[in-house]
Amino acid sequence: MKKIYILGNIANISAGQGAPQKESDFSDVGNPFIRAGNLAKLIEGYSEYDVCDLINDDTAKRYGLRLYPKDTIVFAKSGKSTSKGYVHILSRECYIVNHLACINIYNNDSSYMKYYFMYHKPNKLIKDEAYPSISLADIRDMKINIHDIQTQKEIVAVLDKVTSLISMRKEQIGKLDVLVKSKFIEMFGDPVLNPKGWEKKKLGEVCDVRDGTHDSPKFRFTGYPLITSKNIVNNQLVLDKVNYISRDDYDKINKRSKVYKGDILLPMIGTIGNPVVINIEPDFAIKNVALIKFNNPNITNTYIYNILTSNYIEYVKNILSRGGTQKFIALGDIRKLIVPIPPLDLQNQFAEFVEQVEKNREKIKSSLNQLETLYNALMQEYFG
């Protein structure tokens, strides 16, 4: 059974303290000092010691910092991070910056309350999106509808199990990425150093490298997607925020830059060095994105893709990327990239290996999707 409480009646609500400003105030030992900017990594599963600066007892005493206990719930109450709605529960004693709200629960399960705030995000208390902030008074006055303590513990046990399995699946996917990179180095060596002495050629000599439009076609509410660098995230196409263009503009762009299954797209502006292999039958046009096509029988897209996702592309970015805050790499420079060309049979062996890994990845991703669907359903059931 659920009961409605005023949060301030069942928890101590406070804020952290101001951050020390000198580099010398931080040390190699001590307790973590959590800033608002640390929350994104913390909710991904990193520990406080992994991502936070450390402060020793002497510095803490000098600045009057309070050490918050394990199981304190923290979230941003001021600044840009407030709108994100990140919620973290301390796994150890920590110091907290004053931009974060700190909640210490009296007679309820802290982990249950963490899940509660992950569902009922505290950023709903923001009154002005232009200046995101939440007052401690509004946090104290929050009305929360929660289960009895025994039910809370049962819910936490279920959600902890599901989140643990989700983390495990994500870790498995990450290990597959490492496996592919390790196999690439084992078979071909470092593409920058080329220790195996493969013949080297310019990318433009072994691939057809071109780009999409540089014009700015008029966007529409419906039509044909126009892919730019913002639609390529973590080597994946992201189409939920795509812009649409007319059929005429689509045909004009694709007259010279038609994308086909098996092509590689490489962002030239902003997120350069973040390629994606097109594994679907595409029906879109591209803008400010390099299009790499494979018409040479001695080169495979799997090999080139893994060169472009190796340390080689970081090397290239450091040498060739231009611009100030908006980085870009010129199409001519992409064509001039020097790449080792190993024997085709070795490239094909690697492609077969990657294909088997991808089959395992798809099985794990399917399991991950099912677990995430279950998690969302449970959160709705428990807190909706």
Q: Looking at residue 198, what is its pLDDT?
A: 94
* Secondary structure (3-state) at 288: coil
Q: Looking at residue 352, what is its pLDDT?
A: 97
Q: Looking at residue 316, what is its pLDDT?
A: 65
Q: Looking at residue 312, what is its pLDDT?
A: 72
Shared-domain flag, residues 21 and 36: yes
pLDDT confidence bin for 16, thresholds 50/70/90: very high
Q: Looking at residue 255, what is its pLDDT?
A: 87
Tell me how many domains the chain contains. 3
Per-position b or e across 99-127, b if 16+ CB within 10 A of its CB: bbbbbebeebbbbbbbbbbbeeebbebbe
Shared-domain flag, residues 207 and 305: yes
Q: Looking at residue 240, what is its pLDDT?
A: 81
Counting beta carbons within 10 angstroms of the beta carbon of residue 1, is it exposed (0 to 12), middle (13 to 18) or buried (19 or more)?
Answer: exposed
- Which of the two residues, 273 and 303, has the higher pLDDT score? 303
pLDDT confidence bin for 65, thresholds 50/70/90: very high
* 10 contacts: CB under 8 Å, gap ≥ 6: 105, 106, 107, 108
Shared-domain flag, residues 25 and 58: yes
Shared-domain flag, residues 211 and 333: yes
CA distance 196 to 338: 15
Indicate if the pLDDT at residue 18 is higher than 80: yes
Of the given ranges (6-10, 222-226, 238-242, 245-249), which has the lowest mean pLDDT?
A: 238-242
Domain that holds residue 167: 148-195+343-384
Indicate if the pLDDT at residue 51 is higher than 60: yes
By the 8 A CB rule, do 111 and 156 touch?
Answer: yes
* 244 contacts: CB under 8 Å, gap ≥ 6: 219, 220, 221, 222, 223, 224, 225, 226
**Adjacency order of strands within the sheet including 53-55:** 53-55, 31-34, 94-96, 67-68
Q: Looking at residue 368, what is its pLDDT?
A: 97
**pLDDT tens track for 319-372:** 555 555 556 788 888 898 889 999 999 999 999 999 999 999 999 999 999 999
Q: What is the Cβ-side half-sphere exposure of residue 4, based on CA atoms within 13 angstroms?
A: 3
Percent of the chain scored above 70 by pLDDT?
A: 95
CA distance 118 to 289: 37
Q: What's the whole-number mean pLDDT along residues 287-305?
A: 92
**Rounded to an integer, what is the distance from CA 205 to the centroid of its chain?**
34
CA distance 378 to 277: 35
Shared-domain flag, residues 70 and 169: no
The CATH number of whichever domain residue 92 belongs to comes to 3.90.220.20
Instruction: Give backbone dihedrals phi and psi of 312, rounded to 5 degrees, phi first.
Output: -60, -45
Shared-domain flag, residues 78 and 159: no
Shared-domain flag, residues 34 and 106: yes
Percent of the chain scored above 90 by pLDDT?
A: 66
Q: Looking at residue 334, what is its pLDDT?
A: 87
Q: What's the whole-number mean pLDDT along residues 249-259?
A: 88
**pLDDT tens track for 76-111:** 999 888 999 999 999 999 999 999 999 999 999 999
* Secondary structure (3-state) at 201: strand
Shared-domain flag, residues 320 and 361: no
Q: Looking at residue 314, what is its pLDDT?
A: 67
Shared-domain flag, residues 14 and 105: yes
Q: Model pTM?
A: 0.81
CA distance 377 to 384: 10
The CATH number of whichever domain residue 181 belongs to comes to 1.10.287.1120
Q: Looking at residue 216, what is its pLDDT?
A: 83
The residue out of 114, 130, 146 marking a domain boundary is: 146
The mean of the pLDDT values for the chain is 90
Q: Looking at residue 8, what is its pLDDT?
A: 93
**pLDDT tens track for 128-143:** 888 889 999 999 999 9
pLDDT confidence bin for 176, thresholds 50/70/90: very high
Residue bearing tokens 């492609």: 351
Instruction: Give backbone dihedrals phi and psi of 234, rounded to 5 degrees, phi first.
Output: 50, 45
